[in-house]
Chain A
Amino acid sequence: MNTLFNRLIGGHKGAVGLAMLAAIIFIALPLGLDVFRLGLAGKYITYAFIAVSLVLLWGNGGILSLGQGIFFGLGGYCMAMFLKLEASDPISTKIQTTPGIPDFMDWNQITSLPWFWEPFKSLPLTILAILIVPTLFAYIIGFAMFKRRVGGVYFAIITQAIALILSILIVGQQGYTGGVNGITDLKTILGWDIREDSAKYILYYVNGLMLFGCIFISRFILSSKFGMLLLAMRDKEERVRFSGYDVSNFKIFIFCVAAMFSSIGGAMFALQVGFMSPSFIGIVPSIEMVIFAAVGGRMSQIGAVYGTLLVNYGKTIFSETYPELWLFLMGGLFISVVMFFPNGLAGLYEKHASKLGFIKRYIDIAKARRSAATNDVKSTKHIQEKGAKA
Chain B
Amino acid sequence: MFGYSMAEIGNVFVMQGFSGLSLFSVLLLMALGLAIIFGQMGVINMAHGEFMIIGAYATVMLSKFAVKYDFVNYYFPFAMIVAFGLAFAVGYLVEFVLIRHLYKRPLDTLLATWGLSLVMQQIFRSAFGAKEVSAELPEWMLGSFKPTPDIDIPINGVFVMGLTALITAGVFLFMFRSRWGLRVRATVQNRVMAGAVGINTKKVDRITFALGCGITGVAGAAFTTIGSTGPTSGSLYIVDSFMVVVFGGAASLLGTISSAFGIAQAQSILQFFMTSSMGKVTTLLTIVIILMMRPEGLFASKIRK
Contacts and interface: CB of A to CB of B under 8 A. Distances in A.
A148 B296 CA distance: 9
A153 B118 contact: no
B235 interface: yes
A330 B115 CA distance: 7
Contact of B246 (A157, A169, A172): A157
A283 interface: yes
Nearest to A162: B288
A158 B291 contact: yes
A339 B97 CA distance: 11
A283 B280 contact: no
Chain B contact-residue range equals 35 or more
Given A165-B285, A335-B98, A172 B278 contact: yes
Interface string B96-122: 001001100111111110111111111
B119 A328 contact: yes
A287 B110 CA distance: 10
A339 B114 CA distance: 13
Given A334-B112, A338-B108, A161 B98 contact: no
A152 interface: yes
B51 interface: no
A168 B281 contact: yes
A160 B239 contact: yes
B239 A283 contact: yes
Interface string A168-179: 110110000000
A164 interface: yes
A60 to B, nearest CB: 14
A283 B105 CA distance: 21
Contact of B98 (A145, A290, A333, A339): A339
Nearest to A284: B235
Given A164-B284, A294-B111, A338-B112, A157 B242 contact: yes
Contacts of A333: 115
Given A324-B125, A335-B116, A158 B288 contact: yes
Interface in A258-300: 283-284, 287, 290-291, 294
Nearest to B107: A64
A271 B109 CA distance: 36
B275 interface: yes
B5 interface: no
A335 B292 contact: no
Given A161-B288, A327-B118, A168 B280 contact: yes
Contacts of A58: 107
B148 interface: no
Interface in A302-342: 324, 327-328, 330-335, 337-339, 342
B242 A334 contact: no
A324 B122 contact: yes
A144 interface: yes
Contact of B110 (A156, A172, A324, A327): A156
A291 B111 contact: yes
B115 A161 contact: no
Interface in A323-377: 324, 327-328, 330-335, 337-339, 342
B43 interface: yes
B281 A165 contact: yes
A283 B101 contact: no
Contacts of A141: 292
B227 interface: no
Contacts of A294: 111
Given A324-B126, A331-B118, A152 B107 contact: yes
A245 interface: no
A331 B119 contact: yes
Interface core residue of B102, B109, B111 (most chain A CB under 10 Å): B111
Given A153-B42, A331-B122, A338 B280 contact: no
Nearest to B294: A148
Contacts of B239: 157, 160-161, 164, 283
Nearest to B288: A161
Contact of A338 (B42, B111, B291): B111
B111 A161 contact: no
A156 B106 CA distance: 11
A335 B125 contact: no
A187 B146 CA distance: 58
B243 A328 contact: no
B295 interface: yes
Nearest to A290: B111
A153 B121 contact: no
Contacts of A161: 239, 242-243, 284, 287-288
5 contacts: A145-B292, A150-B291, A172-B278, A333-B115, A334-B114
Interface of B: 42-44, 98, 101-102, 105-112, 114-122, 125-126, 235, 238-239, 242-243, 246, 275, 277-278, 280-281, 284-285, 287-288, 291-293, 295
7 smallest A-B Cβ distances: which pairs?
A334-B115, A331-B118, A172-B277, A331-B119, A144-B292, A327-B122, A335-B115
